[in-house]
Amino acid sequence: MSCFSASTVQGPTVGFIHGVASFDPLPSAVIIWTRLTLPAGNSGPADVDWVVSRDPEFKSIQSSGTYATGPHRDYTVAIDVTSLEPVTKYYYRFSHGKLSSPTGITKTTTHGPLESMIFGAVSCANWGFGYFHVYNRLAKVDNLDFVVQGGDYIYEYEPGFYPDPPFVGRGGLKPEHRLKTLDDYRERYACYRTDPDLQELHRKVPMIAVWDDHEIADSTWQHGSEDFKGSKEEWGVQKLQALKAYGEWIPVRGFDHDNITLDFAHRSFHFGNLASLVTIENRASARSEPVDVAETSFYKETAQKKLEDWNDDTIKKARVELLEKLRDPKKKMIGEKQVENIRKVVAESIAEDRPWQILLSQTIMSQIKAPLLQETLHLQPKLLRKLSGGALNLAMDEKKAGKEGAEQARMYVGLGKYGVPMNPDAWDGFQAERRKVIEALNQEGANPVIIAGDSHNAWAHNLVDEEGQRLGVEFDGPAVTCIGAFEDIYSRFKAKAGPLLNPFPLYLFTPWIEDSLKAANPDTLQYCNLWQRGFMLFHVTRGKFHTEYHFVSNVKKQKKFRHYCEATFEVHRNEKGNMHPAVRYLTFEGVIPKRAVQRASFFVQYTHDISLAMHKST
C-alpha cells in the first residue's frame, strides 16, 4: 500500500497551532487538551473557551466552559470532562476570541457489556531519525478506539548526537541543545506537536500514555541517569521539571502541577466486560541503578579480548557474578506499591469476569537471552553462511569496525555463547522483582497480556514463570522512527567498511540474527523484526486477543512510503501462553494492508536465489 504523508503541510504561527488531543478515556469522562499560542509580546494569562458535543456540527452540546491558562503551564489547556455517556463518540473544540481550534474526536469507554475493541500501540519517536509515518497510518485505522503510548514520546538529545549524522532523516529539531530545564522540555514538546501526522492521530482518537526514560534522560533511574553528572539534588530538580512539562503536554488524570508526585503514573482502566489495563511507572519513582555490563568482569573477559584469547573457566566465573547482579533481590524497577497495585487490579478484573488483563510495561518483561550468532551460522544457506560468518568476523575486528563496535559485537557473541540476557535495562536486569510481578499476574482465571516498547524492535513471546510454565503472552512494538541495537552495530561497522558494504544491507543478515535469537530463546520467542519501524494493532473480544504487527517501508522519505502487515497472532481465552498464527483483517480506510514484500536490489535478490539453490543441493 503506497501512502502519502501530511508532513509537508505548513501551519499558522498563532492560535491553536499544536492541535487538539484527548487522553485517559473512562466510561463517563475524558481529558481534552490544546495549547494556545499568542502573538509575540503577549505573556499574560488567557481564557480559552471549550465545548463538547455529540455531533460534529455542535448542535447537541454536552458540556462547555472556560479554562484559565497562562505561562505557569505553558499555555496548555487540559479539562477532565465528566458526566459523559459511555461508549459514545464526542466532538470538541476550543476558542480564544476569534481564534478557533480544529475539531477533535474522542470516545468514552464503558462499564457494561462490550463486544470488542480495537486499539494501537506506539513508542520511541525520535524526531531526528525521520518522519512520523507510523502516526499517519495509525490515524487511518477504521473503528480505532484508543492508542497506548508506551514511552519515549520525545527524546532529550541535541541534533547530531542521536541519531548519528548518517541516520538523520530530518532537521528542524528544537531546541538545538540537550534538554535540561523546564523551558527546554516545553520547547521540545512544542516542536514535536507541530508534526501534522502526530496532530492528526491526537485529533482523531484518545491516548493512554506513560513515559519511559527519554522524556527525562537516557536510562533514567530514581536518582540519576546514564549521562547525568550533577548532584542528587540537581537530578531531582531536572526530573520534576521534565515531568511537569510532560504533564502539561500529555495530561494524565491525577497529575498535580503544583505538587508533582509519581503516584498518578501507575493507574488502571477497565473496558466493559472485556479487559483491564494497568499502566506502571518503571523509571523515576523506584528504579535502582541498572547493571552496566561494560563495568563487569564478564565484559572485560569477552568484549575486550579477541575470541582466541578467551578463557572458558574465567568467563564462566564472570558469568556467575553477572547473573548474581541481575538477580539481586535488592534491585527494584517499580517497587512494592506498584506490584501490589497490579495484584489488586488483576484480582478485581477476574472477579468482574473480564477475560484479559493487560499490563503496559515500558520495557520488555520476557527474558531475551543474547543470540547464538556463531552457533546458528550453519542453519543459513551456503552463500549467506559465508557472508554472515565473514561479516561477524569483520564486526569483531577493531581495525574494521572500530574499538566500540568490535567490543559490542564480541559482547553479544559472549553473552549468547554463555546464555546471558542481553538487556539489563529491561526486566532481565531486575529478575527478582519480575518474579513478583509475574506472580501478581498469574492468578486463577487471568489471561495476562504484556505490551511493551523501548527496544525499538518488534517481538512476540510466550510469557513464562521461573519454572518455565506458560502463563500469558507478550507483544513488544517496534519504534516509530528509532533504529535498534543490531542496526546500531551494523552502522558502526558500515561507517568503517565504507561503500564496499553497500551491496550487503542489514536485511540480508537479519534472518540469521533472528534465527540465532530464536535458538537462544526456543520456549518463549515466537517472532522478532530487528530492522523496521512500525506499530501494533489489537482487536480484543471475549474469546480472543488478536495482534497485528504493521510496518512502514521508510521514515526518511518525507512524501511517500509503503505500509504493510508482516505478522499476525491470536491468543484464545484460557489458553495461557498459546499463541496462534492468524490472518490479518483490520482495515485502514476500508482497505486491508498488504503482506510484507521486500523490494530487494538485484544483487541481494540474486544472492538469495543462489544461496537457496546451494542450500537445497546440500
What mean pLDDT is predicted for residues 420-445? 98
- pLDDT, residue 18, reads 99
- pLDDT, residue 255, reads 86
The pLDDT confidence band at residue 1, using thresholds 50, 70 and 90, is low
- pLDDT, residue 5, reads 55
- pLDDT, residue 126, reads 99
Closest CA to 344 of 283, 256, 280, 286: 280
Angle at alpha carbon of residue 394, lines to 393 and 396, rounded to 5°: 70
- pLDDT, residue 411, reads 97
Q: Is the pLDDT of residue 94 over 90?
A: yes
What mean pLDDT is predicted for residues 199-226? 98
- pLDDT, residue 326, reads 98
- pLDDT, residue 502, reads 77
State how far the Cα of 373 lies from the Cα of 307, in Å rounded to an integer: 13
Residue with cell 495549547: 35
For 591, which DSSP code? B
The pLDDT confidence band at residue 10, using thresholds 50, 70 and 90, is low
CA dihedral 288, 289, 290, 296 (to 10 degrees): -130
Burial of 463 (0-12, 13-18, 19+ CB in 10 A): buried
457-494 pLDDT, tens digit per residue, is: 999 999 999 999 999 999 999 999 999 988 888 887 77
- pLDDT, residue 272, reads 97
319-360 pLDDT, tens digit per residue, is: 999 999 999 999 999 999 999 999 999 999 999 999 999 999
Angle at alpha carbon of residue 245, lines to 183 and 235, rounded to 5°: 80
Q: What is the pTM of this model?
A: 0.94
Three-state DSSP at 219 gives coil
Burial of 403 (0-12, 13-18, 19+ CB in 10 A): exposed
Cβ distance 479 to 151 under 8 Å? no
What mean pLDDT is predicted for residues 16-35? 99
- The answer to which of 39-48, 82-91, 125-134 has the lowest mean pLDDT is 39-48
Q: Are strands 533-541 and 560-572 parallel, antiparallel or unpaired?
A: unpaired
Three-state DSSP at 217 gives coil
For helices 403-417 and 485-497, give the axis angle rounded to 10 degrees: 140
The pLDDT confidence band at residue 4, using thresholds 50, 70 and 90, is low
First to last CA, the chain: 38
Reported as type and span, the H/E element at residue 92 is: strand 89-96
- Output phi, psi for 279, to 5 deg: -105, 145
Cβ distance 249 to 193 under 8 Å? yes
What mean pLDDT is predicted for residues 100-117? 98
Indicate the average pLDDT of the chain: 93
Residue with cell 512476540: 460
Q: What percent of the chain has pLDDT over 90?
A: 82
Longest dimension (CA), the chain: 78
Cβ distance 370 to 420 under 8 Å? yes
What mean pLDDT is predicted for residues 198-202? 99
Residue 516 C-alpha cell reads as 540465532
- pLDDT, residue 204, reads 99
The pLDDT confidence band at residue 422, using thresholds 50, 70 and 90, is very high
Residue with cell 498563532: 14
Q: Is the pLDDT of residue 197 over 80?
A: yes
Most confident of 262-271, 295-304, 393-402, 556-565: 295-304
- The answer to which of 375-379, 387-391, 429-433, 596-600 has the lowest mean pLDDT is 596-600
Q: Is the pLDDT of residue 606 over 60?
A: no
Q: Is the pLDDT of residue 278 over 90?
A: yes
CATH superfamily of domain region 2-279: Purple acid phosphatase-like, N-terminal (2.60.40.380)
What mean pLDDT is predicted for residues 218-226? 96
CA dihedral 557, 560, 566, 571 (to 10 degrees): 100
- pLDDT, residue 498, reads 75
Residue with cell 574499538: 403
